[in-house]
């Protein structure tokens, strides 16, 4: 199908139909200007059959490595352990990969070179965070420091490797406990399913080794709270966001919406924000 500008519809594939992936699939099925859902990859097809049958235009169900053939944009919404298996075949074929498990990108950064060599692209949405447009803009000048403080309810942190390895009991907390203070790179290792936002912030700004992060387990909050402070030669800004957890308590509801907003921009006539 072509639009009024003679452009053909962009085909989108989704890898992983969990809390984020199903919302993006539904939005595409309901209609995003110039885009169509062409394929999905799931771990257990039987589990998702009823959902897929309920879509107006059910996509093909393919393996992870086939998505780059069936789509122009492959959206990664799976655990970070699958990042390479999803992104590599797509960018090798010169396609775009939208990455939500952005923490996993740090250990697979050669994928950026691979994309560059093959005309592919890697797009990181703002996700569960706020204000990466301002951080991007400030980074065109000089950023002196970026600090982030994350507070999450206990369920949003349970099972994180840093907590398990250090035998920290967070189940019986009555007061906020600072679990971690360090760089975004270290945070991504210790909290791979909880701190993607810190890595996205670092890639927008001063990188994973200069972006400083605190992580608190906080039994007094019901939302995933992120506060950012940036000091730059163009501006000083503080931003905070209080995310309502989705059916996956580690994942804020706004994350899927951020990806949908990014997808809308791919073919929108009016684009607002960088
Ligand atoms: N960038 C950001 O701001 C944020 C990123 N995330 C990250 O996004 C990713 C997805 O999050 P959710 O949707 O909440 O997770 P989820 O656990 O709800 O969904 C992940 C899905 O991937 C599927 N999956 C696992 N292995 C697969 C495979 N080999 N092939 C196909 N599908 C497979 C699972 O069955 C599950 O349905 C996670 O890595 C999470 O850490 C989460 C929140 C914010
Ligand atoms: O960054 C993440 O992985 C998730 C997160 O903090 C949120 O949803 O607020």
- Per residue in 41-53, pLDDT (tens digit) is 999 999 999 999 9
Residues 161 and 191 grouped into a single domain: yes
One DSSP character per residue, 44-105 reads: -HHHHHHHHHTSSSPPEE--GGGHHHH-SEEEE-S-GGGHHHHHHHHHHTT-EEEES-GGGG
Q: Is the pLDDT at 4 greater than 90, yes or no?
A: no
* Interval between CA 269 and ligand 1 midpoint (Å): 30
- Do residue 156 and residue 227 come from a single domain? yes
Residue 184's domain is classified under what CATH number? 3.30.360.10
Q: Do residues 108 and 161 share a domain?
A: no
- Residue 31: domain span: 10-127+254-265
| Same domain for 237 and 137 | yes
pTM above 0.90, yes or no: yes
**Strand runs labelled E in 100-235:** 121-123, 143-152, 177-183, 211-217, 224-232
Q: Where residue 114 sits, what CATH number does that domain have?
A: 3.40.50.720
Q: How far apart are CA 133 and CA 204, in angstroms?
A: 8
Instruction: Count Cβ atoms below 10 Å from residue 137 Cβ, excluding itself.
Output: 15
- What is the value of ipTM here, to two decimals? 0.98
Residue 235 sits in the same domain as residue 147: yes
Task: Please tell me the total count of domains within the chain.
Answer: 2
Report the pLDDT averaged over residues 105-124: 98
Q: Is residue 258 part of a domain?
A: yes
Minimum-distance ligand 1 atom for the alpha carbon of 125: 1
**196 labelled as ligand-binding?**
yes
144 is catalytic: no
pLDDT of 215-270, one tens digit each? Answer: 999 999 999 999 999 999 999 999 999 999 999 999 999 999 999 999 999 999 99
CA angle 60, 66, 72 (to 5 degrees): 80
Residue 249 lies in a domain: no
CB of 211 closer than 6 angstroms to any ligand 1 atom: no
Residue 236 Cα to chain centre, angstroms: 25
Kindly state whether residues 120 and 15 are assigned to the same domain: yes
């Amino acid at each position: 199908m072509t639009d009024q500008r003679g452009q053909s519809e962009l085909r989108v594939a989704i890898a992983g139909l969990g809390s984020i992936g199903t919302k993006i699939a539904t939005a595409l099925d309901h209609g995003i200007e110039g885009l169509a859902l062409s394929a999905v990859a799931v771990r257990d097809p039987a589990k998702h059959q009823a959902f897929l049958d309920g879509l107006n235009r059910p996509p093909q169900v393919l393996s992870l490595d086939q998505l780059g053939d069936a789509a122009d944009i492959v959206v990664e919404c799976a655990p970070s352990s699958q990042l390479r298996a999803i992104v590599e075949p797509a960018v090798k074929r010169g396609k775009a990969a939208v990455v939500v498990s952005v923490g996993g990108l740090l250990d697979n950064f050669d994928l950026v070179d691979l994309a560059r060599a093959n005309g592919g692209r890697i797009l990181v949405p703002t996700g569960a965070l706020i204000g990466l447009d301002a951080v991007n803009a400030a980074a065109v000048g000089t950023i002196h420091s970026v600090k982030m403080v994350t507070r999450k309810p206990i369920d949003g942190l349970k099972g994180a490797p840093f907590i398990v390895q250090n035998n920290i009991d967070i189940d019986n907390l009555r007061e906020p406990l600072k679990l971690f203070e360090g760089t975004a790179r270290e945070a991504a290792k210790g909290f791979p399913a909880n701190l993607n936002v810190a890595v996205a912030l670092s890639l927008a700004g001063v990188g994973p080794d200069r972006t400083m992060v605190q992580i608190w387990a906080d039994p007094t909050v019901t939302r995933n709270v992120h506060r950012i402070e940036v000091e730059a030669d163009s501006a000083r800004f503080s931003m905070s966001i209080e995310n309502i957890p989705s059916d996956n308590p580690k994942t804020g509801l706004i994350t899927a919406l951020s990806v949908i907003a990014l997808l809308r921009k791919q073919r929108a006539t009016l684009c607002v924000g960088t």
